Structure 1
Amino acid sequence: MNTINVLVTGAGSLYGVAVIQSLLKSKLHIKIVAIDIHSHALGLHLACRSYLVPPVKEEEFYLEKLLEILKKENIHAVFIASSQELSFYSRYKTLIEAETNAKVFTNSARVLSICSDKWNTVNFLKDHHFPYPKTIRYPEDKEQIDSFLKVVDFPLIVKPRRGKGSEDVHVAQNLMALHQLLSEKKDIILQQYLPDDQGEFTVGICSGMDGTVLSSIALKRHLQDGITMRATSGDFKDITEYCKQVAVALKPYGPCNFQLRFWQEKAYIFEINPRFSSTTGMRTLLGVNEPEILLRSELLQEEIPELNIIKSSVIRQYADYLVPTEKISQLEQESISTKSKTKE
């Protein structure tokens, strides 16, 4: 395979840009095709070819457009960089792969169910005898709040069962604050607060179709508004080995991220994201290029050697890109033209 044609979805997301930049740094000969719903999505202007697509909630139209692009560009691999699209690709993986030459790097419905619902995540960890933060649901377990507080006390984490990043995550310092946060809420969990005196870690585990761990890297991360703005690699072997064990039990396919903190000298995972991470680009700089690793292992059937991870820090700083307005307008016109043909 002289050239690998790769489609990156959600090209305007933080994940999408990180995946594209990692592919651009790869030693493989790759043609990057990017898709997004917005013409000003940065990833569209970093790729070799770009297309506008409808929102994934317009499922039938999205699938039709996707298959058209996959066939036209002879795509070999699909990387999903939009959280909203994960379930779509999980449902249509078999169909897409049967109708095209593309391998879709997505997870099973089982893995998505465990990771997308934080209550399910806690129960997965519990059932497999891994440390887990004590957790109850609201309003289902509201009768248990008093007894729960006697065990965990304040501060307390209050967050949605389903959500992304630090969105709508709060720390309740007392009973009054807790009642205010729970007012007229549902699908909430109350969770033991894990102190950050030893820092917070993000661990990337990349797995093949057969569950084999292809790569692993642990970073101590420093957050600002829920986004990793600085990350440091170091001698975190115990952390990566622990997360490898969890990954073997979970059996994700492709990239998977584990967020954890320490309590009483034990690592407690509090969130699992079965997708590319906002630190994908940071990992690439440190020697772990996850998109390239997946292509080499799953597409080219190459053995992945032990990786030499650079011991260093990565600082995130936003950059400005100059994009010709004509290119944005061209993408919009092509999209309008395609919609008109579809209606005809």
Structure 2
Amino acid sequence: MQKIPVLVTGIGGGGHGEQILKALRMADTPYLIVGGDMNPFSKGLAEVDIPYILPPANDPRYVDALLALCSKHDIKAMFHGSEPELKVMSANRERIRGAGVFLPINPAPVIDLCMDKAKTSQWLMERGFAVPRTVVINELADLEQVDFFPAVLKPSVGSGGSANIFLAQDRKELTFLGTSLLENIGSYIVQEYVGDTDSEFTVGVLFDMDGNLLNSIAVRRMILSGLSNRVRVKNRTDDMSLGEVLAISSGVSQGDVGAFPEVTGACERIATELGCQGAVNIQCRLAGGKVYVFEINPRFSGTTSLRAMVGYNEPDVLIRTHVLQDPVPPRFTYREGRVVRGLAEVLLPGNPIEQA
């Protein structure tokens, strides 16, 4: 079978572009992977078939550069590797698809809603789904509305890789951290910390591009290891049901991969009501028999390769279904297992990499 040319952007280490690249490499379908990143020191440049340096997503030349690569290499499918690129591709979806390139992204209203955590929490609450108590902070006085501890402070928009996320266990910490966050990033949200460190899941729900549910999968995260941990502190509150240690994931997920119907069922209902197409990733904790959702990422996940390792290869499934016209049946089988992560090194190409 002839190799299918695909373009993956944002292939630097740690993002979901690298994850898509890894998943495509694991597929039985043969792919010619054209990869791009704006960073000339990107690890992924050593791991694709044809590497390019791309303009940043906010550069006016960005979309033109992508389309030029698509034309040059007869690209059949394009995958974004970062949220800034997702926003630009969403805004230019008709132009990209008009060039004959398969672009598996969610509808614009889904992307716009889910990339704002405050709006997402409000949407979930209005529809009866369990969410941690959430307060939007626009000014210092808004912190007085927070009457729950522990509390997680984080940006409403952005925060990829758990950037600018903090944990407050009392009013003094809340005021100190909240003041600093307001001065440095502006508005943010405060959410109730729920569940213990063994109860956190990242859940993938996959639809075809007509909105038909294909399957779901979850990773029960091991968040206490150094690689997967952003915040780890002793629990100083009176609520020992949260465990002796309170922790927030770094966004680098590892753990037990499987069906976990106790969480995937609720996440399938949420993603269906949202009207998702393609991949969506839902972050949640299972506490008191309820699935508390604290974030929805309307894109491929940072666990895409972990899922592919057990036979749940989202980018390959979508290409087979919509490009190769070889649809994968709904509820396709996959294995379960424990996937752990470490660090890897690559030797970058010695010759200069072409600018797109």
User: TM-score scaled by structure 1?
Assistant: 0.88
Contact conserved, 1:113 with 1:120, CA < 8 A, in 2? Answer: no
Q: How far off its partner does 1:235 sit?
A: 5.5
Deviation for aligned residue 1:321: 1.7
Matching of residues 77-92 of structure 1 within 5 Å = 77-92=77-92
Give me the whole-angstrom Cα distance separating, in 2, the residues matched to 1:51 and 1:222: 35
CA–CA separation in structure 1 for the residues paired with 2:252 and 2:324: 32
Is 2:280 the counterpart of 1:256?
yes
Q: Greater RCO between the two (CA within 8 Å, min separation 6)?
A: 2
Q: Which 4+ stretches in 1 moved above 6 angstroms?
A: none
Q: Does 1:296 align with 2:320?
A: yes
Q: For 1:197 and 1:25, how far apart are their aligned partners in 2?
A: 31
Note the C-alpha offset of 1:233. Answer: 2.4
Q: How far apart in 2 are the matches of 1:197 and 1:84?
A: 30
Alpha-carbon separation, structure 2, partners of 1:266 and 1:41: 40
Residue 176 of structure 2 corresponds to residue 180 of structure 1 = yes
What is the RMSD computed on CA atoms of the aligned residues?
Answer: 2.0
Aligned to 2:192: 192
How many Å separate the matches in 2 of 1:68 and 1:285? Answer: 33
Counterpart Cα distance in 1 of 2:199 and 2:349: 42
SS at match of 2:35: strand
What does residue 246 of structure 2 align with? none
The 1:18/1:325 distance shift into structure 2, 3 A limit, reads same
CA distance in 2, matches of 1:234, 1:2: 32
2:51 partner SS: strand
Sequence identity percentage: 33
3-state SS of 2:348 partner = coil
Deviation at 1:2, TM superposition (A): 4.0
* SS of the residue 1:105 aligns to: coil
Closer/same/farther in 2, CA of residues 129 and 301 from structure 1, 3 Å limit: farther
Question: Structure 1 residue 316 and structure 2 residue 341: aligned?
Answer: yes
1:198 CA displacement? 4.2
Give the aligned partner of residue 166 of structure 2: 170
Distance 1:229 1:115, change over 3 A: closer
1:13 CA drift (Å)? 4.0
**Which 10-residue stretch deviates more, 313-322 or 105-114?**
105-114
Give the conservation status (yes or no) of the 8 Å contact 1:218–1:240.
Answer: yes
Instruction: Provide the residue aligned with 2:67 in structure 1.
Output: 67
Separation (CA, whole Å) in 2 of partners of 1:154 and 1:293: 42
Task: Using the TM superposition, give the Cα deviation of residue 31 of structure 1 relative to its aligned residue in structure 2, in angstroms.
Answer: 1.2
TM-score, normalising length from structure 2? Answer: 0.86
Alignment of 1:136 with 2:131, yes or no, is no
How many residues in Structure 1 have an aligned counterpart in Structure 2?
Answer: 325
2: CA distance between counterparts of 1:68 and 1:274?
Answer: 26
Within a 5 Å distance, the mapping from 1:192-341 to structure 2 comes to 192-223=192-223, 224=228, 225=230, 226-234=250-258, 236-305=260-329, 306-326=331-351, 329=352, 331=353, 334-335=354-355
Gaps (5+ residues) in structure 1? Answer: 339-344
Bigger fraction of residues in helix: 1
* Whole-angstrom distance in 1 between the partners of 2:122 and 2:188: 15
In structure 2, runs of 5+ residues without a counterpart are 231-249
Structure-1 residue corresponding to 2:235: none
